[in-house]
Amino acid sequence: MVKIRFPDGTERSYPDATPIRDIVDGLGGRLKKEALAAQVDGVIKDLSFCLKNDAALKFLTFEDADGAGVFHHTSSHILAQAVKRLYPGVRLGIGPAIKDGFYYDFDREESFTPEDLEKIEAEMARIVEEDLPMERFELGREEAIAFFSALGEDYKVELIRDLPEDTIISCYRTGEFVDLCAGPHLPSTGSVKACKLLSLAGAYWRGSGENPMLQRIYGTSFPKKSLLDQYLHRLEEAKKRDHRKLGRELDLFSVHDEAPGFPFLHPRGMIIRNELEKFWREQHALAGYQEIKTPIILNRVLWERSGHWDHYKENMYFTRIDEQDFAVKPMNCPGSMLLYRLDLHSYRDLPIRLAELGLVHRHEMSGTLHGMMRVRAFTQDDAHIFMLPSQIKEEVAAVIELTDRIYSVFGFDYHVELSTRPEKAMGSEEMWELATTALREVLEERGMAFIINEGDGAFYGPKIDFHLRDSIGRTWQCGTIQLDFQMPEKFDLHYIGEDGQKHRPAVIHRVVYGSIERFMAVLIEHFAGAFPAWLAPVQAVVIPITDRHHAYAASVLKRLREAGIRAESDTRSEKVGYKIREAQLQKIPYMLVVGDKEAEAGSVAVRERAGGDRGSVEVSEFINALLGEIAASQLRCPETTIDRAL
C-alpha cells in the first residue's frame, strides 16, 4: 500500500501502482471532471501515472497555471498532428505551452497562409472529436534516433543527439501521430473543447540566426467555448487599447528607425510624464524621501565592485574615456551607495531615504523591443533606503503603504510575489535566508496573500514584486521591493551605532512605477487613452459654434489657462458636430460649446467625453468643479466631481 497526502492535510492509503486517474474517479465531485494532471511531490505527472511510493498529491485543473500549461501543451500536439495530416512533408520543430496558449514550429517549403490556418483549425476539431488517447512510451537513445530518422524528423533527431547516451527518451502517441516529448499531457485529445489559431510568425531553429528559419503557428485553447469567447473578446479589446496605436492617434510618442528602442515623447506625451513625475515627487516628499540625481556614466571599477560587471555585463553599454573603461548605468543603485558613503552617519540619522528619477540604459535584443513597454533607455522611479537592521520590517511596510496609495489613484488592483535566491547570487545562504524571512514576515503580518516565485530574486537580494491588474484583466509587473545586505558590504558602508562602533546598514532598493515609460504604456492601455482629467494632456476644449463666437471662446480659453487648466480652442471652419466627434476621438474629457446664449450669460455648454450633454454652467463654476475633480482624483476622494458640481 502507498500512503497519499492531500493538500487539505488528509491522508489515504491505496494499493501499489494505483493510477492517479483511479484516485480522482474515486474522489468524485468537480475534480472527476476537471482534473487535468497532478503534482506528485511537486513534480507534474499524467493522470495515467501509477503511484509506487508514499507521496504528496495535488490535482491540477485549468484554473492552476501548471494545469493550464498541461492543457495548452496537449493542444500544441493536436496542432502538430493536424498539420502532419494535411501537409505530410512538413518537418516538426518544437511546440511548447506559453502564457495563454501554445505554439508549434514547422519547416515547410511553402508559407502557411490564413486560409491554411482555417483548414488546420478544422482538422484540429476533428482530432478533438476523435478523442484519441495520449499514450506515453519510452525508447532508448539509439532507438529514438532510429525511430525519428525513419519518420524524417531531422529536428527531433538533433534534439535527441544532444542528450546523454544513457537517456531514456519519452514519446507520446495519439492515433497515427507520434511526438518526442517529456510530457505530461491530458488523458486524451477530447478534453480540448475549444481551439483557436491566432497568428503566424518566423522563428529561427533553436533561436540562432545561423539556423533555418521555421514557421511558427500560435494558438490558444480552453476547456469551454465560453472561455475561448471571453479570451478572444479580451484580445480584440487589447488591440483597440494597444499603446503603440493610441500613441500615434493621440500624438503621445513615436519610435523611429534611427533610434530603435529609444522612444520620442511628443508634447502631449510629455504632459502625462510630467504629471506622473509631479505626483511622484509630492507623494515621496510626504513619505520622507530626499531626491537626488546621479551620473549616467560611471567607470568600470565601480561596476566591478557592485557586481554588475560579473552578473549583468551582457545587458550593458560601454565606452572609453581617457583610456579608461566606463559603462552607461543599467541601474541607479551604485550612485546612491557613493552618496551615502560621503558622510559619516550615526544610527540616529537612519533611515535615510534617497529617491531618484534615474535614466538607465539596458541592451535588449531587437526582436524584444515593443513600443514603450520594452525599450533600451528608460527612467526608473528608484529609491534606496539605508536603515538599521531593526528598521527593516517597518520600512518595508512603509514602502508597501506608499505603493498601495499610489496605485489606488490609478484604480489598480494588484497581487504580490515573493522572489527568492537565484542560481547566480552574491552572498551567503544564511544572509539570503535572513532577508527572505524579513520580507515574508512583513507580508504575513499585513495579511497579504502572496505567491512564492522560486529563484527569481535579484542577484543581491530577495524581492517583493507588485503585479498590477488593468481594466481588462491583464497583469503587469511594475513595483518591486528588494532587500539587500550585499552592496553595503561591497561599498564598505557603515554607520556609528549606540556602542560607538561601526556597523553595516541594510538597504532597500525599490520602485513604484518601475519604468516611467512602461508605466505610461500600461496607463494608455488601462484607460484606452481616455485618461482621467488630472492626467489628460488636454483637459477641456472650447468649441465656438460660428466665427462670431471666436472672441468669446478666446476669453473662455484665457480664463481656463489662467486657472491652470490645460485647454485648447477649436476655431476651424467646421460644423459643431464634427468638432465634438474629433474631440471625442482625441478622448478630451470636456467639450465646452459656446454660442450666443453662452456669450450673453458668461457660461459654457458642457459635454462630457462619456456622459454626453451636461447642460450650461457659468465659466467660474466649471473651472472650480474641474479643479475639484482633479484634486479629488489624486486624493481618491470622489465626493468632489464635475457631475456633483454641475
Give percent above pLDDT 70 in the chain.
98
- 84, 243, 509, 518: the catalytic one is 509
Q: How far apart are CA 613 and CA 603, in angstroms?
A: 14
Question: Tell me, what's the pLDDT at 33?
Answer: 87
Average the pLDDT over 350-371 and give the result. Answer: 93
- 156, 353, 361, 362: the catalytic one is 362
Q: How far apart are CA 507 and CA 351, in angstroms?
A: 9
Cell of 562: 489662467
Instruction: Check if 382 is active-site.
Output: yes
Band the pLDDT of 641: cuts 50, 70, 90.
Answer: very low
Locate all alpha helices (DSSP H) within 95-164, ordered by sequence: 114-130, 141-150, 154-161
- 73, 216, 243, 463: the catalytic one is 463
Distance of CA 338 to the CA centre of its chain: 32
Q: Is the pLDDT of residue 287 over 90?
A: yes
Q: How far apart are CA 557 and CA 543, in angstroms?
A: 10
Instruction: Check if 384 is active-site.
Output: yes
Q: How far apart are CA 358 and CA 295, in angstroms?
A: 9
- Give 191's DSSP letter: G
Residue-wise burial string across 390-406, b where 16 or more C-beta atoms lie within 10 A, e elsewhere: ebbeebbebbbebbbeb
- 105, 381, 382, 484: the catalytic one is 382
Question: Tell me, what's the pLDDT at 634?
Answer: 63
Tens of pLDDT, residue by residue over 313-357, are 888 999 999 999 999 999 999 999 999 999 999 999 999 999 999
Q: Is the pLDDT of residue 92 over 70?
A: yes
Evaluate the omega torsion of the peptide bond into residue 638 and state whether it is cis, within 30 degrees of 0.
no
Instruction: Check if 50 is active-site.
Output: no
Q: Is the pLDDT of residue 526 over 80?
A: yes
- 196, 241, 284, 384: the catalytic one is 384
List the beta bridge partners of residue 473.
none
Question: Tell me, what's the pLDDT at 48?
Answer: 92
Say if residues 388 and 347 touch (Cβ distance below 8 Å).
Answer: yes
Band the pLDDT of 636: cuts 50, 70, 90.
Answer: very low
Q: Is the pLDDT of residue 488 over 80?
A: yes
Instruction: Check if 84 is active-site.
Output: no
Q: How far apart are CA 233 and CA 227, in angstroms?
A: 10
Q: How far apart are CA 192 and CA 225, in angstroms?
A: 10
Tens of pLDDT, residue by residue over 401-449, are 999 999 999 989 999 999 998 887 877 788 888 888 889 999 999 999 9
| Domains, the chain, ordered by start | 2-58 (3.10.20.30), 66-235 (3.30.980.10), 271-295+346-526 (3.30.930.10), 540-645 (3.40.50.800)
Q: Is the pLDDT of residue 639 over 60?
A: no
Question: Tell me, what's the pLDDT at 340?
Answer: 96
- 308, 333, 374, 607: the catalytic one is 333
Question: Tell me, what's the pLDDT at 638?
Answer: 36
Question: Tell me, what's the pLDDT at 644?
Answer: 36
Round the average pLDDT of the chain to a whole number and report it: 92
Cell of 430: 544564511
Give percent above pLDDT 90 in the chain.
78
Tens of pLDDT, residue by residue over 3-21, are 999 988 899 999 989 999 9
Average the pLDDT over 177-187 and give the result. Answer: 94
Q: Is the pLDDT of residue 1 over 70?
A: yes
Tens of pLDDT, residue by residue over 127-149, are 999 999 999 999 999 999 999 99
Q: Count CA atoms within 13 Å of residue 433 on its CB side.
A: 3
- 39, 81, 215, 380: the catalytic one is 380
Say if residues 497 and 466 touch (Cβ distance below 8 Å).
Answer: no
Average the pLDDT over 623-640 and give the result. Answer: 73
Q: Is the pLDDT of residue 452 over 90?
A: no
Instruction: Check if 333 is active-site.
Output: yes
The helix or strand, by DSSP H or E, that contains position 34, with its residue range, turns out to be helix 29-34
The helix or strand, by DSSP H or E, that contains position 102, with its residue range, turns out to be strand 101-107
Band the pLDDT of 26: cuts 50, 70, 90.
Answer: confident
